[in-house]
Structure 1
Amino acid sequence: MKKNEETFYLVRGDFLPEAMRKTLVVKELLERGKVESIFEGAKQTGLSRSAFYKYRDAVFPFQAMQQTRIITLFFHLEDRSGTLSTLLATVAEAGGNILTIHQTIPIHGKANVTISLNIENITVELDTLISRLKQQDFIDRVEILSSGA
């Protein structure tokens, strides 16, 4: 396996470490509005906030990933001419349909970009698309913020 390769696996829940299972519970509590904050959810489940932040972008319920065709990605990138258009072109070449774009004003030569896209018709695996995006020299970080319809 390549270093930093994002490959997705289907793992039975009882094989997951307790911290990952609790992270899923906190995410569900937040999604359903049963708790108002990560702090409150972590306290309720007996999970440390650091463990939640460690696993939040790494574990997802199978049903959510199976039914989801819309994802939200967060990018931290350099403020250079053409970076946003290159990012959008990479997503479009993979068949992603961009639904929303939000870009912050660059500070110290860096900007944050959040895009929501429909991945129903992508022609590559999601982990391949994310890997391609991470290979762009102007992108410092890519995160999956959410996956929901």
Structure 2
Amino acid sequence: MREKKPDKKFYLVREDVLPEAMKKTIDAKALIDRGKVDSVWEAVQKVDLSRSAFYKYRDTVFPFHTVVKERLITLFIYLEDRSGTLSNLLTTVASTGCNVLTINQTIPLQGRANITLALNVENMEVDIEELLKRVRQLEFVEKVEVLGSGV
């Protein structure tokens, strides 16, 4: 009787703490997926990575947006308490094609309000990283956290 292998654990890790070989593997996979290269050899050459490192990491590192199978995401956002901030935030989110499912806002305290947004990203026109970038660039946004994704 074969012994059952334990389930693999997954972690969400910030890009800046990944080893360079993992980052380059993600870049090489993106070149292949987008059809910018004709072979693994060409992809690893373009990103200056060894083929052995590529094959070591190719099935273990993925950009966040590729592993989000459900098309829902929940964001927790810290906003400065100023007139029009929620409206501007929602306009930015809507401009990406997201559909806002729920909005929860705390009562502003000490000049800050906390917003929780549940979004349907099924028809989003940009990837999740771009959505987060656009929200973080709003001058009244202090911090954005991805609370999770799921149904």
TM-score of Structure 1 vs Structure 2, range by shorter chain? 0.5 to 0.7
**Residue aligning to 1:134:** 136
Q: Distance in 2 between matches of 1:128 and 1:143?
A: 14
Q: How many residues align?
A: 100
**Residue aligning to 2:69:** 67
Residues 87-98 of structure 1 correspond to what in structure 2 (within 5 A)?
87-98=89-100
Q: Distance in 1 between matches of 2:87 and 2:15?
A: 24
Q: Which runs of no fewer than 5 residues in structure 1 stay unpaired?
A: 16-58
2:95 is aligned with 1:102: no
Q: Which runs of no fewer than 5 residues in structure 2 stay unpaired?
A: 1-13, 17-22, 30-56
Identity of aligned residues (%): 49
Could you list the structure 1 runs, at least 4 aligned residues long, displaced by more than 4 angstroms after superposition. 8-11
**Residue aligning to 1:124:** 126
What TM-score, normalized to structure 2? Answer: 0.58
CA RMSD of aligned residues (A): 3.0
SS in 2 for 1:88: helix
Matched residue type, 1:85:
S
What TM-score, normalized to structure 1? Answer: 0.59
**Residue aligning to 2:4:** none
Residues 1-149 of structure 1 correspond to what in structure 2 (within 5 A)?
9=26, 12-13=59-60, 65-149=67-151
CA-to-aligned-CA distance 1:91-117 (integer Å, 9 cap, x gap): 101000000000000000001000000
Return closer, same or farther for 1:111/1:5 CA change in 2, 3 Å cut-off: farther
Q: For the Cα contact (< 8 Å) 1:5–1:131, is it kept in 2? A: no
